[in-house]
Amino acid sequence: MLRGLIKACEKRPVALKQLEDVCFNIEKELRNQGMSEVKSELVGEMVMDELAKIDEVSYVRFASVYRQFKDINVFIDELKDLLKKER
């Protein structure tokens, strides 16, 4: 998880400590829910939620890989959703 976050935040003003905190908080939340197994989709969504709060460019980078955008229209739709969440 941390490796993917670091890659998404490459050359962005995001401290490693912030990314480590994201990983720690997600792992803690999942443990508190008592889940013995966790689907990668859930983890990916949790990562994107946290990343959107930290850096929007990094969020879009992560989302483009995680969601495997097939074309520019899907990418544009994701940007529109991000803008809606800001308002």
Higher pLDDT, 64 or 38: 38
- Helix, strand and coil content of the chain, in percent to the nearest 5, comes to 75, 0, 25
User: pTM for the whole thing?
Assistant: 0.78
Number of domains in the chain: 1
Report pLDDT digits (tens) over 14-25. 999 999 999 999
- Mutual orientation of helices 56-66 and 72-86 as an angle, nearest 10°? 140
pLDDT at 83 over 80: no
Q: How confident is the model at residue 87 (pLDDT cuts 50, 70, 90)?
A: low
For residue 70, the enclosing domain spans 2-86
Percentage of residues of the chain with pLDDT beyond 90: 52
Query: What mean pLDDT comes out for the span 40-53?
Result: 92
